Structure 1
Amino acid sequence: MKRVDGYAPIRHYALIGDGRTAALVARDGSIDWLPLPRLDSETVFARLLDAERGGAFELAPEIDFRVEREYVEDTNVLQTTFVTARGTVRVTDAITLDHGGLLPWFELVRGIEGVSGEVPMRWRIAPRFGAGESAEELSIDRIGAAVRATSRGSSLVVYPFDAGDPHHTDDEIGGLFETDKGSKASLVLRATHDEPIPFARREWAERRLDDTVGDWKRWLAGAGVEGDWDAVVRRSALALRLLTYVPTGAILAAPTTSLPERIGGDRNYDYRYCWVRDTAFTLDALINLDLLVQVHASFAWLLDAVATTEPDLHVFYDLDGERVSAREELALDGYRGSRPVRRGNAAAGQLQLGCYGDLLETAELYVREGNALDDATADRLADILDHLTTIWKKKDAGIWELPDAEHYTVSKLSVWTAFDRALRLVEEGQLPRDRAEAWRECAKDVREFVEGECWSESRGCFVMFPGSAKLDASVLRVSRMHFLDLAGERFSSLVDAIRDELGAGEGLLYRYSGQQQVEGAFVACSFWLVEALARAGRLQEARKTMTQAVGQANDVGLFAEEIDPKTGAFLGNFPQGLSHLALINAAAAIRAAEEA
C-alpha cells in the first residue's frame, strides 16, 4: 500500500470496535484512528486527519511486504496477512468483548502468528491524546514489562507478549521482534481514565480475542439473512453494529469527522452524531434483518432524544440523546490537506421536514412488526404531528442539508408520509383518533401540492423543488412511501429520468443535478435506485445495478459516503452507515420482489 504524504487511501481502511468505540486499521497495519473512551470522544490516534501530529499504532514487517486481509467470517475481527520474501505473518486485530458485552475497560488485542519463514517485525505507538483539541501533557514510563502513556488523567498501557523488549522516548513507544513458523506473539493495549489500570494477563487477553470471534458470530446468528446478497448484507449488518453506541442504543452516521467529499476541499463534516433520518433508516434495515433487540433499544433511544426538543425535531442528537449546538475547528492538517477539521455540524440548527416522516415511518414499522406504542409515546408523536400541521408549508434545508431553503420535493413527500403513517397508526389503535381529521386534511393538502407543483411533464419526473429543472436522486425513496403507483407510467418515468441524468456509470449516481464536478457519486443513491427498480418489478435491472454497486465496496466489504467514479477512490466519512443500511434495504426489496 502506498501512502500519499503519509495518508492511506480511505478505501484501504477497515473498522474494528466493540459498541463503545471503534478504530480504523489501514492495509499496512497502522491504526490511524481511535477515539477514547467512546465513539465521539477526543482521539488518541488521529493520523487519519494529520499525518505528522495525529498519532498512530503501527505494526508491520520491517522488510517489503504485500497484504491480504479479511474479516474472520461473520465477525468484526480483522485478519491481515503480510507476505514477504522471507516468510508470512498473520495479524488478528480486535477490540475485545466480554461474553458479548463490554469490558469495564478498553482493550485492543493484536495477535501475531508466524505462518512461515522468519519475518522481522516492528511496532510503534505514538499516542496523541486529544490531538488538535486540547493541550497535550504526555508522560511515558515503564511499569515492569509494560509501558504506560498518560495525559490529563487518561492512561494507555501496552503489554508486549513475545513482541520484543519495549523501548520508549518522550513521545512514543516501540519494539522489534521476529516471527517464525508457529510462533505466537501479542500486543495488548488497554486504556482507562481516572481509575486504576488493570494489568493484562496474556492468557486471558488471548482467550478474549478468541472468544470475541464467537461473540460476533452469535450476535449475527440472530439476523434473518438469505438470498444472493447474504454475504454483503451480513457485512453491512456488522458495520452498522459498530456504529451503534451500546450503552444508549444511539446510532452514529459514521465514526469519523472531516474526511473530505473532495480531496483538498472544505466540504468536510463531522458525522459522529445520531441523525433522526439515519437512525430511522437504520431501524428499517434492522427490522428487515429481524434484529429486534437492537431495534427496540435504538427506537427507545430515538424517542427519548426527540422528547428533549418536542414538538420540534432536531436534525441530530449526540450519543446521550442531547441536542448539539457547539462547533469548533480543530488544529489538525486534515486528510491530505483537506481543511477545516470540524467538531460539531452546522446542520444542527436547520429545519428538515423529512425528519418527521422518517420518525413516523419508523413508528409504523415498529407496530407493524407486532409491537405496540405506550401512552407516553403515542401522546408525544401526536403532539409532534400537530406541530407538523403548522410548519409543513415552510421551506426547509432538505435531506441534503443545503444552505438555500426551498420547498424540496423529497421533504414534502416525507411530510405526506408522516401523516399517512399516523393515520395507519390511528387505525391500529396506536394514536388518538380525535386528532386524525386534521392529519388527514394535511395529507390531502400535501399531496395536492406535490402533484401540482413538483411534477414536471417535460422532465417526466419530480423536480428538486417547484420551479427548478434539477433532479434529485433522493426522490427515488418515493418507492417505499406508497405515494405513487409503482406499476404506473409516472413512477417508471421518474426512475429512468433520474438514472439517465444522475448516473455516473457502474451503478453509481450523483445526489442531484450539477454535482458532477463538485463531489463523488453518493453510494446510498445506488441502492435507492436498486430498491426503486425492484419495487417497480424491474428485477433484471435491479439485480444488475445491485451487482455493480456491491462491486464498489473495498476489499473487506465496507463503503464510504461517496466514490469518485473516475478513480474508484472513496470520499467522505467512513464507513458510512447510510451506505450500508441502503444496501440492506435494497437486498430486501429484491428478495421481496422475487418472492411476490
Structure 2
Amino acid sequence: MRAALISDHAFLADGHSAVLVDRTGSVNWWCPQRFDAPSVFGRLLDPDAGHWSIGPAQDARREWSYLTDTLVLRTVHTTAQGAVAVVDALALELGARGHDIGLRSPRLLTRIVYGLSGAVPMRLHYRPRFEYGRVVANLREEEGALIAGAGTVRLALRASIPLSCGEGEAYADFTIRGGRAEHFTLGYAPAYDTDPPIVYAAQDVVDNAVAGWRSWLDLHDYQGLYREQVRRSALVVQGMTYRPSGAVVAAATTSVPEQLGGDRNYDYRFVWARDFSFTLEALWRAACSDEVNRQFAWLGRAMGHVDGDPVPIMYGVAGERDLTEHRLDHLAGYADSQPVMVGNDAWRQRQTDVPGEALGAAWLMRAHLDDPLSPEIQQLLRTMADRTVTDWRHPDAGMWEARDMQRHHLSSKVQCWTALDRAVRFGARLAGPADLARWAAARDEVRDTVLVRGWNDALGAYAGTLDGADLDASVLLMPLVGFLPARAPRMRSTIDVIERRLSHDGLLRRWEGDPAGFVICSFWLVCCLILAGEHDRARRLFEGLAGRANDLGLFAEQIDPVTGEQVGNFPQAFSHIGLINAAGRLSDLAAGIPGVGAPPHDPLPRKC
C-alpha cells in the first residue's frame, strides 16, 4: 500500500524531528534523531520503507483537526459500529514551557485511542524499517516493551494491549468501546546509548504537549488580520525549528517531487541562508525578538568567518556545510517519482544573493544588535559587503538553484544591491567613510545595471536575467526589498505582465513552463499588489491562496493550479512564511500604519 497524497498528511513536531501521519492513521514519515537523519518510517517514499498504522478495521468517515493552538492531532473515525478518536503527539520535555519547549526532546511518539461510541474493531500494524527502509529490525520483548533494534537505532514500543510479532513487524486486532482508551508510546534512543528510550505515560505526553505549544503561542499573540491562519503558520514554522541551534528547516521531507513522475526531487531538510530575511520578517510579525535573536545567532555561528568561494548558501541544522547529495535507488519514490535524494548538492553552488538576505536580516533587527556591533558580527557583515562589491558581477545559479548553467539572474543582482544598501545604512556602526563610499558606489552601479540591462521592451517587464527575454517571478522581490516602488511605471508594468502570463487561478508559477504554482511567489504577488495600491484585489488573492491550504492549514511547496493538488516537500516553511508576511502587510494597511507602502525596514521591536 502506498502512502497518501502529501496534502493528506498532518505534521507533528518536537523541536528535533517531524512526523507525518495520514488521515487513515498511518505514520508514514519519522526521522527521530533529527530532521535530516535516516527514517524509521518512510512509507511516504516507498510502500516497504516502514509505517505504523492504527485505525478502524472497516471503512470509516474521518474528520481531523489540531487541538486548539497546538501541533497535537485528533482524528475522529466514524464507522457503522461506532466512533473512535485517535490523538497523536510528539512529546515535549515534561514541564517545558514558552521558549524552552523542544530544547531537550525525549524523542517519543504517543498515540491514544479513545472510544467515543459503540464498539469499533481496530487494527494496528507496526513495521519499522531503519536507514530509509534498508534495514529490517529485530524485535524482542524486554521489560514490558517491544524493542526494535538494528544498526544505530533502538525503538521501544509500549502498548496497553497485547501485540503479535512477525518478522520485523507487529500486529494487533482489538475493539475499542465507548468510554475506554488504549495507550501507545514509541520511544527512540541510539543503539549504543547506555540510557534506554525515555518512558512517559501517554496521557502525560499529550497533556504536556498541549500545554507546551499553547504556552509558546501565548507569548506571540498576533492580533492582526487573518489571526487563525497566521497563528497556525507560526506554529508550523516553530515546529520546523531545530531548537538546539535555532535553525528553521525548509521542509520536513525529502524528494516529494515538484511534478509527479518528474526528477526535480530534492532534500529540503536543511537550512537556506536565502530564507533568512523572510523568516525574520515573519518572526517579527508572528513571534518576538527572542525568536529573531536565536535565528541571527544561528546564522552567525553557521557562517563563521566567510572565506573561500563561493559564500556558503545552506547548512545542516547544526551548521554543517558539506551536504553532499546521493541517491537512494532502493526506494520507489513518492508516487513512483525517482530519484530519491539524501543531501543536496546546491550547497556547492554560487548564489550571489545570500549576502543580501544576511545583511537585510541584520538591518531588520538592528535595534537588537549590540551597539557597537560585536567584533564577530561586524566582521561577518563587513566581509559580506566586501564580497558583494566583486561578486555581483558574477553569474550564479539563482534562487531557483538551476543546475544546468550559471546566469546573471536579476533577483540575485537586486539582492546584491540590498546587501550594499543595508551595509551603507549601517553607517559608522559597520565601517569607516572609505568603506561606506566604496559600498555606495558599487550599490549605485548595481542599480544602474539592473535598471538598464534588466528591462525588456518587448516583454514590457523586467526579465529574469540581464539582457534576457524570459519572465521570472523572483523579480517581484524588487519592490519588497525597496529597490523600486511598486507604483513606478516599469515596476507596475512588470507586476501586471508577471500576473498575466505566469498566474493561473491565483497561483503564480516561477517561470513559463513551471509545472505548478509556487506558493510563496503567489504571496509575493499579494504584497506587490498592496504596495501598488490594489488593496481589494490583494485581499481577494490572499484569501484565495489561504484557502488552498489543506484542511489542517498546511502548505507544501507548490500547488497544481488545475487539479488543486499540493506537490513538493511538506510542510514548506517558505510557504507559511509567505502567508504570515502577506497577512502582516494587509494588517498594516487596515491599521493605517504610516509607510505601509514601503518594505518593513523599521519593525517595532516586540519583547515576550
What TM-score do you get using the length of structure 1 for normalisation?
Answer: 0.94
Where 1:44 maps in the other structure, the secondary structure is coil
Three-state SS of the structure 1 residue aligned to 2:43 is coil
Aligned mates of 2:576, 2:476 — CA distance in 1: 17
1:419 aligns with 2:420: yes
**Equivalent position of 2:485 in the other structure:** 485
Structure 2 counterpart of 1:345: 344
C-alpha distance in structure 2 between counterparts of 1:94 and 1:502, whole Å: 40
Q: Aligned partners of 2:105, 2:447: CA distance in 1, in Å?
A: 52
Which structure 2 residues correspond to residues 99-114 of structure 1 after superposition, within 5 A?
99-100=95-96, 101-102=101-102, 103=104, 105-114=106-115
In structure 1, C-alpha distance between the alignment counterparts of 2:194 and 2:145, rounded to whole Å:
15
Matches within 5 A, 1:401-550: 401-402=401-402, 403-426=404-427, 429-505=429-505, 507-515=506-514, 519-550=515-546
- Tell me the secondary structure at the aligned position of residue 443 of structure 1: helix
2:89 corresponds in structure 1 to 94
Counterparts of 1:173 and 1:447, CA distance in 2 = 64
- Give 3-state SS (helix, strand or coil) of 1:16's partner: strand
> Does 1:58 find its partner at 2:33?
no
1:552 partnered with 2:548:
yes
Give the match for residue 195 of structure 1. 193
How far, CA to CA, are the matches of 1:368 and 1:283 in structure 2? 13
> How do 1:157-168 residues align onto structure 2 when only pairs under 5 Å count?
157-161=156-160, 164-168=161-165
1:278 equivalenced with 2:275 (yes/no):
yes
What's the CA shift for 1:153? 3.9
Is contact 1:508-1:565 (8 Å) kept?
yes
What residue in structure 2 maps to residue 573 of structure 1?
569
1:397 aligned partner: 397
Structure 1 residues 201, 365: CA separation in 2 closer, same or farther (over 3 Å shift)?
closer
Query: Quick check: 1:263 aligned with 2:264?
Result: no
Q: Deviations over 1:353-383 (max 9, x none)?
A: 1111111100000104676532221122101
1:85 aligns with 2:80: yes
Aligned partners of 1:183 and 1:137: how far apart in 2?
Answer: 34
Which residue of structure 2 lines up, in the alignment, with residue 250 of structure 1? 247
- Distance in 1 (CA, whole Å) between partners of 2:489 and 2:452 is 17
User: What is the SS of the residue equivalent to 1:175?
Assistant: strand
* Change beyond 3 A, Cα 1:252–1:200: closer
CA deviation string 1:413-450 (max 9, x = no partner): 111011111111116x2444441111000001001100
2:22 to 4, 26, 31: 26
Query: Residues of 1 paired with 2:516 and 2:466: CA distance?
Result: 26
The change in CA–CA distance for 1:223 and 1:274 in structure 2 (over 3 A counts) is: same
Partner of 1:335: 334
- Within the candidate set 309, 319, 322, 2:320 is matched to 322
Q: Call closer, same or farther: CA 1:595–1:369 in 2, change over 3 Å.
A: farther
Residues 68 and 437 of structure 1, relative CA distance in 2, 3 Å threshold: same
Greater mean deviation of Cα atoms: 53-62 or 146-155: 146-155
In 1: Cα distance, 2:171 partner to 2:363 partner: 54
**Does the 8 Å CA contact 2:267/2:341 hold for their aligned counterparts?**
yes
Paired residues of 1:526 and 1:549 also in contact (CA < 8 A): yes
Amino acid at match of 1:285: A
d(CA) in 2 for partners of 1:321, 1:157: 30
For the residue of structure 1 that corresponds to 2:129, the secondary structure is coil
Residues 96-105 or 478-487, more deviating: 96-105
Instruction: Show the counterpart of 2:381.
Output: 381
* Cα 1:433/1:322, change in 2 over 3 Å: farther
For residues 143 and 366 of structure 1, what CA distance do their matches in structure 2 show? 52
Q: 1:230-241 alignment to 2 at 5 Å? A: 230-241=227-238
TM-score of the pair, normalised by structure 2: 0.92
Q: Tell me the distance in 1 between the aligned counterparts of 2:367 and 2:502.
A: 34
Please state whether the residue corresponding to 1:261 is helix, strand or coil. coil
| 1:59-74 correspondence to structure 2 within 5 Å | 59-74=54-69
Q: In the TM superposition, what is the alpha-carbon distance from 1:302 to its structure 2 partner?
A: 0.8
Cα deviation, 1:148-178, whole Å, max 9, x if unaligned, reads 11012421111112xx211111210121221
Tell me the equivalent position of 1:117. 118
Whole-Å separation in 2 of the counterparts to 1:255 and 1:432: 43
Is contact 2:15–2:105 with CA below 8 Å preserved after alignment?
Answer: no
CA distance 1:371–1:492, shift in 2 (3 Å): farther
* Equivalent residues of 1:28, 1:60 under 8 A apart: yes
Q: Compute the displacement of 1:537 (Å).
A: 2.3
Aligned residue for 1:352, secondary structure, equals coil
Q: Contact 1:473–1:512 at 8 Å: present in 2 too? A: yes
Shift of 1:15: 0.5
Q: Is the 8 A contact 1:86 1:119 kept in 2?
A: yes
Give, in whole Å, the separation in 1 of the partners of 2:342 and 2:400.
19
Q: Compared with structure 1, are the counterparts of its residues 432 and 322 closer, same or farther at alpha carbon in structure 2 (3 Å cutoff)?
A: farther
For 1:382-439, what per-residue CA distance to the aligned partner results, in whole angstroms no more than 9, with x for missing partners?
Answer: 0121111122101111111112211111111111011111111116x24444411110
Specify the alignment match of 1:367 in structure 2. Answer: 366
Mapped partners of 1:580, 1:341: distance in 2: 25
Asked whether the equivalents of residues 464 and 471 of structure 1 are also in contact (C-alpha less than 8 Å), the reply is yes
Q: Is the 8 A contact 1:32 1:56 kept in 2?
A: yes
How many residue pairs align between the two structures?
Answer: 581
Map of 1:6 onto structure 2: 2
For 1:131 and 1:422, locate their aligned partners in 2 and report how far apart those are by CA, in whole Å: 44
For residue 89 of structure 2, what is the amino acid of its counterpart? A
The answer on whether the counterparts of 1:191 and 1:197 sit within 8 Å (CA) in structure 2 is no
